[in-house]
Amino acid sequence: MIIFITLMLSVPTLLLFYKFSLLHPVEKLIIWSVSSIISKHSFTIIELNLGMVEMSNKKVDAILIYLLGWFFYSPMLAIIVGFLQKGRVHPLYKIALMFISAAFLSFTNHLISITGVIVFKHWNIIFSFVSYIVIILFVFSFAQFFRFIFTHGRSHV
C-alpha cells in the first residue's frame, strides 16, 4: 500500500517539478534542498523530540518515507513556492493556493497514517495543516531571499 502511495505521489510530482516548475534550474535545486531540510527538521522534531508521531520500525517503510520526503513533499513545496513567487497574480489567489496546498499535503499525511507506516499519537490533520502553512511560509521567505541574491549577488564578494 505504502509503495503504491509513494509511486502515485512521487512520479507525477517529479515530472511536474521537472517540466512545469516556474523556478530557474539553480533555484529549483536550492528550493528543493531547503524544502527537504525544513521537512526533515520538522518531522524529526515532531517524531523524536516531541513524540507526537511514531514511525514504523521496518527499514523498508522508513526508506519509503524518506523517498516520499525527497521526491514528493520537497518538489511539491518547491512547485507551490514557484507559483507563490509568480508576479501578476492577485494576492488573494496566492493565499487561497497556499491554504489549498497545505490542505492537500495534510491529506497525504493522513493517507500515510492510514497505512500504519506513521502512527499519529498526539498529532492530527489540523496540526499537519498548520505545520504546512508554517513550512510553506518559511520556504517562501527563503525563496524570496534567494531570488534577491540571485538577481543582486551573482558578482563576487
Partner 1 sequence: MLYEVFLQPEKFDKNEWFILIAGILMMILFLFTDRRISVLEIVVIWVINWFMAEAADFSIAIPPFDFYDFNDSPKYEYFDFFLFVVLYPCTAYLFIHYYDKWNLRGKLLIIYVFIYSLLTLGLEALASVFNVFTYKGWHLIFSFPVYLVVYIINIVIFKFERKHIHKLNTELKKV
Q: How far apart are CA 54 and CA 138, in angstroms?
A: 25
Show contacts with partner 1 in window 111-150 (CB under 8 A): 146, 149-150
CB of 17 to partner 1, least distance (A): 16
Show contacts with partner 1 in window 47-86 (CB under 8 A): 48-50, 55-59, 62, 66, 70
User: Taking a C-beta distance cutoff of 8 angstroms, is the pair 9, 44 a contact?
Assistant: no
Q: Which of 11, 12, 18, 44 binds partner 1 (CB under 8 A)?
A: 44
36 in contact with partner 1 (CB under 8 A): yes
**Which CB, 19 or 57, lies closer to partner 1?**
57
Stretch that binds partner 1, among 34-42, 94-102, 103-111, 131-139 (CB under 8 A): 34-42
**Which CB, 19 or 90, lies closer to partner 1?**
19
CB of 97 to partner 1, least distance (A): 24
**Which CB, 72 or 146, lies closer to partner 1?**
146
What are the grid coordinates assigned to 67, written together? 523517498
1-10 own/partner pairs: CB under 8 Å, 24+ apart: 1/115, 2/61, 2/64, 2/112, 2/115, 2/117, 3/64, 5/68, 5/108, 5/111, 5/112, 5/115, 6/64, 6/67, 6/68, 6/72, 9/68, 9/72, 9/108, 10/67, 10/68, 10/71, 10/72
What are the grid coordinates assigned to 91, written together? 494576492
Residues that bind partner 1 (CB under 8 A): 24-26, 29-30, 33-34, 36-37, 40-41, 44-45, 48-50, 55-59, 62, 66, 70, 146, 149-150, 153-157
